[in-house]
Amino acid sequence: MRWWIFIPVMALVLSLDAALMPAFAIGGHVPQLWPLLLAFVSLYASRSAAIWAAMILGFWLDAMHPALGVGIDAPRAVVVFGPHVLACAAGAWCVLETRAWLYRRNVLTVAFSTFNCALLASLAFIAIAGIRGAYADPFPLWGGGSGGAAVGSDMVDALYSAVIAILPAWGLQSTLTVWGFATAGPRFAGGNRMNRGND
Amino acid sequence: MPFVSSRRILVIALAGAALLSALPQSSQSPWSGTLAAILWAPLVPGASALAWVRDRIRAPSEPYQGLPEDLRSAREDRDQLQGELDARQLRIEELERELRDISGFRPADRAGWQPRRATVVERGGGRPAGLLGIDIGTNQGVGEGDPVVVGGKQIIGEIASGGAENRSWVIPLDDRRCGRIDAIVTPQASGKGGNAARQSMLVQLVPQGNRTLVGELESLAGVNPGDSVLLGDAGWRPAAQGMRIGVVESVGKLDANPLRGRITVRMESDPARVSRVVVKVRVTGEGQPQGQGARGAGAAK
């Protein structure tokens, strides 16, 4: 995978998620594009590249979502690095495990993987936040309410993200050759593919 | 282009992430805020431009939308003055109580504040939901606990600590993590009776998210849907006192205890849909004595 393409695209996707996507909110559920990018990369990149991409993406997501701690005058916004990193790695792993039996060159497959990725990342995040809540955090990292409610809400978010992802997924699929993925690009013989596996 | 192909380094990085995830906030807070600001900095110009696009796609729900600019400005000024009047009335009631009691002396409220206009550049659509990122910070005098208002008198939240020089986080009032909020229900001035007939009622509200807060009352007598609800919480800054939270949306009985009443308050402004806010920044020098208006243990009331 070409990292000099992934990083700017990731920056664009995170900017869109932070600033533009709330415009498409329905009933408090905001679609996100980062699961699409992660699912797309995980569908085509080598395993190690996909996990690295997930970790980098998760690092930025952690930076963008501060947790609330106890402050002196007001609750304190504290950036906690780590939970999103692991959550994104879990989401990428889910797509990596399922991609073998998926027909990848299809926009609906990318949308389906987006749902899987977002859902597993959410479950992993809430599990981590639940463990942290037992000893470290005064407020759960997922916000207010119970963990079960957070899972339900994130499930709807994941579904909505997958629906919204169909159009941008088509755009990403059309740029497939640019990314230099190990398992995509023009059809080639198995021997050639093996030589490109180490990206 | 190979990135880091070693499986061992990948495992070490994952283990490092797991270790970071397990660390308490106090271990990360000295450096994580600075690192987050550095990571966010390259995205700020793009996000600001996209926020402008977002406002074109879905107009923010600001008070008096659609009115001519001068009329809107005049109404906002009126609301601001109304908010100040409400705050002063609360203060007068408090002073009257104190005069009645003459039980002790309390320094006058000399807390000064100045408005600082800010643009919402980020919304926490993910987790935790609801925090708003604004484009002013400690450089502009913004400090933790400063109230954030729209339309002159509608309070929508407060500044969380942990902001950066040019960036702050706002905790919306309807966020459950805001904790319990003391408020005052002021019945609508009805007809000729006007203010003379008004009898305010104290209530403790619990944020429920989605623009609503609920509170329990001993008696529902005198509370009707449409009544104004003002903030009157000693834990908040003096500049926040008397600011309008919203209106009583519904009144009913508690299922668990039908002798007690339950009110639902709906915020007039949706924190998730405001694009410009005003932070009431505390002016140093004229400030209140240290400790007054401070929340002892954050939101944990």
- Residue B184 in contact with partner chain A when CB distance is under 8 A: no
Residue B205: pLDDT over 80: yes
Rounded CA-CA distance B179/B205 in Å is: 9
Would the CA dihedral through B285, B291, B294, B298 be positive or negative? positive
At A192, which amino acid appears?
Answer: N
Q: Does A182 touch chain B (CB under 8 A)?
A: no
Q: What are the tens digits of pLDDT across the range B124-181? A: 655 545 688 888 888 888 888 889 988 778 888 889 877 778 888 888 888 877 778 8
Residue B285 above 60 pLDDT? no
Question: Percent of chain B beyond pLDDT 90?
Answer: 4
d(CA A151, CA B273): 24
Gap from B16 CA to chain A (nearest CA, Å): 8
Q: What are the pLDDT digits (tens) for B251-273?
A: 888 777 777 888 899 988 888 77
| A139 C-beta neighbours (distance < 10 Å), count | 22
The Cα–Cα gap between B230 and B84 comes to: 12
% pLDDT > 90, chain A: 53
Task: Tell me whether residue A28 is exposed, middle or buried, using C-beta atoms within 10 angstroms of its C-beta: 0 to 12, 13 to 18, 19 or more.
Answer: middle
DSSP A180: T
A45 interaction partners in chain B (CB closer than 8 Å) = none
Chain B contacts of A90, Cβ < 8 Å? none
% pLDDT > 70, chain A: 89
Q: Contacts of residue B299 in chain A, CB cutoff 8 Å? A: 68, 70, 74-75, 139
With contacts defined as CB-CB under 8 Å, which chain A residues touch B1? Answer: 1-4, 180, 199
Nearest to A83 among B21, B32, B207 (CB): B21
- Longest CA–CA span in chain A (Å) reads 65
Q: How confident is the model at residue B108 (pLDDT cuts 50, 70, 90)?
A: very low
For A19, the closest of B42, B54, B298 (CB atoms) is B54
Write down the pLDDT at residue B145: 87
Torsion of CA A72, A74, A79, A83, to 10 degrees: 100
Nearest to B156 by CA among B286, B277, B239, B72: B277
Q: Which amino acid is at B170?
A: V
A20 shares contact with chain B (CB less than 8 Å): yes
In the numeric block, which tokens belong to residue B15?
């283990």
- Hey, CA dihedral for B300, B121, A29, A130, is it positive or negative? negative
Bridge partners for B185 per DSSP: B201, B229
CB-side exposure of A169: number of CA atoms within 13 Å? 26
Say whether A65 and B127 touch across the interface (CB within 8 A).
yes
- A30 in B contact zone (CB under 8 Å): yes
A193, pLDDT greater than 80: no
pLDDT tier at B100 (50, 70, 90 boundaries)?
low
Q: Nearest by CB to A69, which of B25, B36, B133?
A: B25
Average pLDDT, chain B: 78
Query: Can you tell me the distance from the alpha carbon of B21 to that of A17, in angstroms, rounded to the nearest whole number?
Result: 23
CB atoms within 10 A of CB A171: 9
DSSP string of A52-113? HHHHHHHHHHHHHS-EEE--SSS-EEE---SHHHHHHHHHHHHHHHHGGGS--SSHHHHHHH
Locus of tokens 């990122």:
B133
